[in-house]
Amino acid sequence: MLYRALLIGVLINWPFLSVRADAGDGDGTGYWDNLQIHGFASLAGIKTSDNRFFGDSPHTSFDFSELGLNVSLRPAPTLLISAQLLARRAGEMYDGEPALDYALLDYCAAATPDYRLGLRVGRIKNPLGLYNETRDVPFTRPGIFMPQVVYFDQVRNLLLSSDGLVLYGDAYTGLGSLSLSVLHGRAVVDENVEWAYLNGDFPGDVESRSDSWIWSLWFATAGDRLRLGFSGASLSVDFDPRTSAPPILGAGSFDILYWIASIQYDAEDWTLSAELMREPIDWHDFGALYPDRRLTAEGYYLQAAYRVSPGIELMMRYEEGFADRADRSGKAMSRVGGGQGPAHMGYSKIWTAGLRWDLDRHWMLRLEYQRHSGTFTLSSRENPYLPGQVKDWNLVAAQIAFRF
């Protein structure tokens, strides 16, 4: 309740919160002249015909809200310091407790008309796909919700950022620009990872190893009209039972190789985007209750956005996702689970229609309708009674957001 009251208070008093610090000596050369402080907030209402999505949505949920504050400072032309604190409420998955989304130091070691080389260190946004680096702000997402079959909100923190170091470089040619980045570090793991990959909350903890690798390679034509990208992540997560009683699960681990192929074409009034994701996963050493297995999850979507006017945008998207690309009906997965989980948990097919209205540079309204077949994208943490998940269901959402 305190969190929601704070969010509403910020929405009401937003004109007084916009800050740009210019505390130098008045001639534009002060150390703090480049300090910028910005923020955003959003609140959404969600109604589903069945199943829980970001709260008790069958009875209308207002448990999806965000309150963020970001700071950046450029003490020298080659150095940038940046951080963001975010309080995010998303049903049972995220409780609104403030957390550090990212905090990094970016050093540009070389920059010429032909190339740029640099280094970032700290908690860094993972350069995955078209939208992962901008998914934390409502204004820079492609809709109220990300394409769930590629950008899983079930494990948002795992995908969003990593603690480590990234080397990046850009090359500029007459044909366009080529960008490469390679990150080494530790993934951010929370309880949602356990729910998503182990289907429950077991006595013990999940922890990331420190040998995660993330990479991205992009080509963009002049003016960024056409963008082609390939990005991915390789990481391992360990489970430590940490109990004196006989553990339910053994001290196992699962290895993930997650990659995305991306394409986007941006014209004056419309944008077409498409991405394909595959995620080979290997579980091992958890014991008899959770036998060793391997599968490859898959998801893809096609999205079109049309700007009717500078302030109004229409969006259509179709997406499909599968827990195992070799079992697109989900029947084999259901048999392995003894029929406890229905087959439609193995896939999701989603149609989305959305409207974005920018009232001014600070305020935005969004409306969205989704038609779902399957429940692959649902969180088992919010829908733990697996036989009760309904195959065909609808979602309607409205969101108000502001930024300063």
pLDDT exceeds cutoff 90 at 274: yes
pLDDT in tens, 127-149: 999 999 999 999 999 999 999 99
pLDDT exceeds cutoff 50 at 14: no
pLDDT exceeds cutoff 70 at 372: yes
For residue 13, is it within any domain?
Answer: no
Cα(365)–Cα(363) distance, integer angstroms: 7
Would you state the pLDDT for residue 44?
98
pLDDT band per the 50, 70, 90 thresholds, residue 7 = very low
Would you state the pLDDT for residue 155?
94
Cα(332)–Cα(326) distance, integer angstroms: 9
Cα(396)–Cα(368) distance, integer angstroms: 6
Alpha carbon 287 to its chain centroid, in Å, reads 31
Cα(123)–Cα(187) distance, integer angstroms: 10
pLDDT band per the 50, 70, 90 thresholds, residue 184 = very high
Quote the number of domains for the chain: 1
Q: Are 126 and 159 in contact, with CB atoms under 8 Å apart? A: yes
CATH code: domain of residue 135: 2.40.160
For residue 45, is it within any domain?
Answer: no
Cα(237)–Cα(361) distance, integer angstroms: 41
Cα(46)–Cα(219) distance, integer angstroms: 37
pLDDT in tens, 88-125: 999 999 999 999 999 999 999 999 999 999 999 999 99
Domain span at residue 136 reads 70-85+97-403
pLDDT in tens, 188-198: 999 999 999 98
pLDDT band per the 50, 70, 90 thresholds, residue 250 = confident
| Tokens standing for residue 334 | 């259901």
pLDDT exceeds cutoff 60 at 234: yes
Mean pLDDT of the region 158-186: 95
Residue with tokens 């391992």: 236
For residue 181, is it within any domain?
Answer: yes
C-alpha to C-alpha distances, 281 to 187, 207, 237, 265, nearest whole angstrom: 16, 16, 11, 31
For residue 30, is it within any domain?
Answer: no
For residue 291, is it within any domain?
Answer: yes
Average pLDDT score over the chain: 90
| 3-state secondary structure at position 12 | helix
Cα(228)–Cα(207) distance, integer angstroms: 33
Would you state the pLDDT for residue 107?
97
**∠ CA(85), CA(194), CA(93), 5° rounding?**
45
Q: What is the pTM of this model?
A: 0.89
pLDDT exceeds cutoff 80 at 205: yes
25-39, 267-281, 284-298: the lowest-pLDDT one? 25-39
Cα(129)–Cα(396) distance, integer angstroms: 26
Would you state the pLDDT for residue 338?
67
Q: What percent of the chain has pLDDT over 90?
A: 78
DSSP 138-201: GGGSSSSS--TTTS-GGGHHHHHEEEEEEEEEEEE-SSEEEEEEEEEEEE---HHHHHHHHSS-
For residue 367, is it within any domain?
Answer: yes
Composition of the chain by helix, strand, coil, percent to 5? 15, 55, 30
Mean pLDDT of the region 28-57: 89
Instruction: State the amino acid at position 251 in one-letter form.
Output: A
- List, in order, residues 6 or more apart from 247 with CB less than 8 Å away: 202, 203, 204, 241, 287
pLDDT exceeds cutoff 70 at 42: yes
Would you state the pLDDT for residue 247?
76
For residue 136, is it within any domain?
Answer: yes
For residue 231, is it within any domain?
Answer: yes
**∠ CA(309), CA(314), CA(319), 5° rounding?**
155
- List, in order, residues 6 or more apart from 42 with CB less than 8 Å away: 65, 66, 138, 399, 400, 401, 402
DSSP 331-362: HHHHHHTTTSS-GGGGEEEEEEEEEEEE-SSS
Would you state the pLDDT for residue 26?
45
Would you state the pLDDT for residue 204?
85
